[in-house]
Amino acid sequence: MCFIKIKNFLIVRNDQGFNHWIFQRISALCFLISIFLVYFTNNIVVGLLGVFIIITHINSGLETLLVDYLHDSVAKKYTESILDIVTVCLVKFSVLLFVYII
């Protein structure tokens, strides 16, 4: 059963899908803010932060697709594991690229 309660001016809902939805909106907003900060300040650290934000945003979106459309639990576990490995590889590549640029 899903219910909504208001706690300290925040809406808390006991539902994993709702949490993913909120995280997607917050990460998209943070990414847009980082784009504007990079444009106006030319700060590469903020750019790297934006890359990390978009990687987590993509990971969350793909995970949501997997949960929605895969019904076999074994296939779901394998694809989530592969998605986690790809995410770790993307983060490592981004850090190495950042180190190489600086």
Q: What is the CATH number of the domain that holds 31?
A: 1.20.1300.10
4 part of a folded domain: no
Query: What is the structure's pLDDT at 99?
Result: 83
Total domain count, the chain: 1
Which letter, b or e, does each residue of 51-90 get, where b requires 16 or more Cβ atoms within 10 Å of its Cβ?
bbbbbbbebbeebbebeeeeeeeeeeeebeeebeeebeeb
Q: What is the pLDDT of residues 6-65, one digit of tens each?
A: 455 555 556 677 787 888 999 999 999 999 999 999 888 888 899 999 999 998 888 888
pLDDT higher than 60, residue 2: no
Give me the domain span that covers residue 30: 15-101
Return the H-helix or E-strand segment holding 41.
helix 16-41
